[in-house]
Structure 1
Amino acid sequence: LQFNTDTVYSLEASYTGDKTFIKSAQHFGSSDILFYVRHLGNTLFFANSCTLYFQSEQLHKAMFTALVGNKPDFVSLLLENGVSLRDFLQKETLCDLYKLLPNCLFLRRLAKRASTSQNLSRSPFKMHPRTNPERDLFLWAIIHNNKELAEIFWEECQDCMAAALAASKILKKLAEEGHDADEGEEMIKLAKHYEKRAMDVFSECYSCDEERAQKLLVRVSPFWGRTTCLRMALEADTQKFVAQSGVQVGHCVNSYVQISRTNSNSGLLFLCPRCWTMETPADFGCGFFSMQAKPLNGWMRLVSLYSSPQVKFYMNIVSYFGFLALFAVVLIVDFQPAPSGSEILLYIWIFSLVCEEIRQAKMYINDLWNILDVLSIVLFIIGLGFRLDDTLFYAGKIVLCIDFMVFCLRLMAIFTISRTLGPKIIIVKRMMLDMFFFMFLLSIWVVAYGVAKQGILIHNEDRLGWILRGAVYEPYLTIFGDVPKNIDNTEFDISACSMNGSDPLKPKCPVLNEDEMPAFPEWLTIIMLCVYLLFANILLLNLLIAIFNFTFQEVQDNTDRIWKFQRYELIKEYHSRPAAPPPFILLSHLYMFLRSVLLRRPASPITHFSE
């Protein structure tokens, strides 16, 4: 049965005619419903009447058309009137929905994964994934950057807080990889919207039942990669969510530490605490803490104490200071052609640090501290290789001295636990990034002035070291007040330079006139210097100060939120860390190796934080 547009419009005149049309179309199938929905546009009165007379499977094509045509009102109406998403969203349907999305980097990656999945599906074993049509349609709407449809399916999701955090992470990643600035801004805006949604859900749960809300944070979600809301919040960089009082003050961050409040930080630092706790480590069913409290015996108190992130942190601080002291002694006092006992101990210590970095590789986060860790280890390996070669012995010591500086910079990470100094570390990191991009702008002026000055003063200099010195190094020092003297004829000394550049320790003399004085135009070089200092020393450096001031103010306005997020990251790192500090951590690694590889026993349930 085919209907034309005139027939549809004539039905708007009477409700009786509409019912007659629906009953007639009911005998012919969903194609007529699809025609009906398309031609009625957003006339919800007729669509509502239509959905009352048809079964769920007859409305699947209408649902598909409403999704593709961006009709959120029709989608809501179809869901309210019995459309089953589990029956509607088959594998082929989901693939068709993704095929209609605009081409982007994500879709190319998705197509590659789909091809791999098809190859796996031909293998003899069968996979039975846990289907969740609400989640799949929600992700489709998020990737489509459709706020209205995403909101509909988010409300249908079983784990709405995890869904909101996942959406925030996905949208931020898509905004980074996209090339459309306007679309990227919309994605960032939608990501912030779902971060706020997650915060609202947790706040509502926390106001009703604090304990159950805290369990919800660390509950493993089977539909979102078997991860937890806490871990997802960290990966999505949702600082506002992590900084909520319910997350920070509750059991999720503080109670599981299992240390009595009467213990001071100095007592923990010198390992003289009162071993008292009311938390039992036997039950970690909700993630990493137990809601059942009872006194522990003396041995279990010690185990709980030295397994707590706070004690691990302090012991690792003491260990790291000892490591730096040993490193300094080896470099300054005891660096012999044949490795001494202290140097061998240093090698063992470094090896324990390498083992710990390998253990953390699966939960690595690309930040400054991990970059410094990798850089310090790589430099040490290079320096050790040079040091063991007699011809490169001194070069190896130089590399190890530079490596010592990197290890000292890594020491700044201990200040992240401080409420005062922690945000300042973030300020330093952001200022370093600002300065990195500022150096590109400054280098234009440095190279422009340096090359012009070098070309005017010196004729045909062929020594690379002196070329770089005159074209880059001296103009850079000029910014800090080291005004060059070779542009002033009154201070020219012919004995301080080499006429033909044959002396490697002296610069080449400028072109001389018949009076054996520099022939270059002195007035021009002075004007060039004044203009260079005006732009580089006054304009650009003040611009850098303004950038630093903006960065400082931006971080300072969110000090509390940033510190809480940093503290959570630090607790997460040290919760999964073995109790013994380096170099004794090698014993812990040996135990874990024997347990997992030789004894075939699963890892401890408290090994990973919030997983």
Structure 2
Amino acid sequence: MAIDLEIWWLRCLSFIIVIPFLGPHLVAIWKMLKDLLFFMVIIAIVMIGYGVASRSMVYYPTVNNFTTEAGGSIDNSFDGRSVFRQIIYPVYYFLYGDFSDELANLDSNPDAGWSIADHVLLAVHMLFVNILLFNLLIAMFTKRYEKVHQETRTIWHSQQYLFTREYFTRSPFLPPISLIYDIYCLIRMFVFFIRRNYFETPVYQHTRVFKIIPKKRDTIKEWHNFEDAYTYEYAHDEVKALKTASMKSKSGSDSDNKDDTTTDDNDLNNTTNGLKQVQRSLTRLERIVEELNVQLEGAIEKKQNPTTP
């Protein structure tokens, strides 16, 4: 229950992601977590390596005069809890500068070889982790934040759209009543599928469409111009690719026989047919866009100027 409460509070962060000055920072935190995952993998490898090496030197019974008898100071059991308590747990808190009794235990045997070796190993470990790896993590976080900060407006609009889209597709009811609505939608979709594929009955269903309708007509015209421009660019790229393919086939035919010439003619004919098909598709697309534009303008005029009976 306590873990569920913690997850619920973290989930509340999604409601403030649409706020312009808070949303991009939450996105930066999410992207930083991905960088932190890479850092945690390296830290885990270094921690386990140092923990196994240092514990094996300090708690080696024969050389260091430790006993494994009942009431002794060594826990020689090998299970998950013992490994975590003896190897991972103490070494993890070294990251925060908490050495606990580690240095006191080593200083109690200053002339022992294992104590000197463990001192050197601890110094190298702290140098590598606390200086090198932590500075690497800070540099990664800084780079990630600068990258997100440069795209603040774009990221905010994207997150706002995803958040609105999520609640647009959800059930209008709260759980557990929403389960009934989901079952209804599933049965309805199954019935439409049966009617369409087995009874050959035309199915006319009203699909919910998520679309932003601007208040100004100029914005609609700008959107249409944008769609036309990118449609033209796509068609231009397709035609260019077809021309490139035809040129390659034509250049290769100079060193071939007459059969290759016939093949080049076929490729050229295919290219011409492809160009004609692209032109027909563009004409059809322009016609559809014009019809939609007329319908949309008519709907806007009706909404702005309602007729009284």
The aligned residue for residue 466 of structure 1 is: 82
Q: Which residue of 1 aligns with 2:147?
A: 554
- State the distance in 2 between where 1:421 and 1:561 align: 14
Code of the residue aligned with 1:605 in structure 2: it is: T
Matched, 1:457 2:72: no
1:221-232 correspondence runs (5 A) = none
- Give secondary structure in 1 for the equivalent of 2:36: helix
Residue 31 of structure 2 corresponds to 430
1:474 positional shift: 1.2
The C-alpha deviation readout for 1:147-183, integer Å capped at 9, x for no partner, is xxxxxxxxxxxxxxxxxxxxxxxxxxxxxxxxxxxxx
Deviations 1:212-237 (A, max 9, x none): xxxxxxxxxxxxxxxxxxxxxxxxxx
Q: CA separation in 2, counterparts of 1:605 and 1:469?
A: 58
Who is 2:169 aligned against?
576
* Equivalent residues of 1:422, 1:566 under 8 A apart: yes
The match for 1:476 is 92
Which of 562, 580, 589 in structure 1 is aligned with 2:182? 589
- Give the aligned partner of residue 206 of structure 2: 604
- 1:576 deviation in Å? 2.4
Aligned residues: 187
> For the Cα contact (< 8 Å) 2:58–2:115, is it kept in 1?
no
1:522, 1:593 → 2: CA distance? 69
User: Match for 1:545: what amino acid?
Assistant: I
> Which deviations, in whole Å up to 9, do the C-alpha atoms of 1:325-359 show, x marking residues without a partner?
xxxxxx4xxxxxxxxxxxxxxxxxxxxxxxxxxxx
Q: 1:448 to 1:595 in 2, by over 3 A?
A: closer
* SS of residue matched to 1:525: helix
One-letter code of the match for 1:579?
Answer: P
Aligned amino acid, residue 571 of structure 1: T
Paired residue type of 2:92: Y
CA contact (8 A) 2:106 2:115 kept: no
Query: What pairs up with 1:33-48 in 2 under 5 angstroms?
Result: none
What is the distance in 1 between the residues matched to 2:130 and 2:19?
A: 36
Q: Are positions 1:414 and 2:15 aligned together?
A: yes
* Percent of aligned pairs sharing the same letter: 29
* Runs of 4+ more than 6 Å apart: 598-601
Tell me: CA distance 1:594–1:534, structure 2 relative to 1, closer, same or farther (3 Å): closer
C-alpha offsets along residues 64-94 of structure 1, whole Å, 9 cap, x if unaligned? xxxxxxxxxxxxxxxxxxxxxxxxxxxxxxx
User: Where does structure 1 lack aligned partners over 5 or more consecutive residues?
Assistant: 1-330, 332-400, 493-511
Structure 1 counterpart of 2:116, which letter?
W
Provide the C-alpha distance between the structure 2 equivalents of 1:420 and 1:585, rounded to a whole number of angstroms.
33
Match of 2:284 in 1: none
1:527 aligns with 2:120: yes
Once residues 90 and 204 of structure 2 are traced to their aligned partners in structure 1, the CA distance between those partners, rounded to angstroms, is 62
Paired with 2:169 and 2:83, the residues of 1 have a C-alpha distance of: 53
Indicate how the Cα distance of structure 1 residues 489 and 589 shifts in structure 2: closer, same or farther if over 3 A, else same.
closer
Q: How does 1:489-528 map to 2 (within 5 A)?
A: 489=105, 521-528=114-121
Task: Report the counterpart of residue 160 of structure 2 in structure 1.
Answer: 567
- Are the counterparts in 2 of residues 575 and 609 from structure 1 also a CA contact under 8 Å? yes
- The change in CA–CA distance for 1:531 and 1:587 in structure 2 (over 3 A counts) is same
Residue 417 of structure 1 aligns to a residue in which SS? coil
2:104 aligned with 1:488: yes
Provide the rounded CA distance (Å) in 2 between the counterparts of 1:433 and 1:462: 36
Letter of the aligned partner of 1:463 in structure 2? Answer: F
Contact in 1 for aligned 2:106/2:119 (Cα 8 Å): no
Amino acid paired to 2:96? F
Structure 1 vs Structure 2 CA RMSD: 3.1
One-letter amino acid of the counterpart of residue 207, structure 2: P
Other structure's SS at 1:521 match: helix
Counterpart code for 1:453: S
Shift of 1:531: 2.0
Aligned to 2:17, the other structure's residue is in SS state helix
User: Within 2, Cα distance between the matches of 1:590 and 1:439?
Assistant: 42
Q: 2:163 and 2:83 mapped to 1: Cα distance? A: 48
Shift of 1:431: 0.7
Deviates more, 1:416-425 or 1:520-529: 520-529
CA deviation after TM superposition for structure 1 residue 439, in Å: 1.6
- In structure 2, runs of 5+ residues without a counterpart are 62-75, 196-202, 212-309
Tell which has more relative contact order, 1 or 2 (C-alpha 8 A, sep 6+): 2
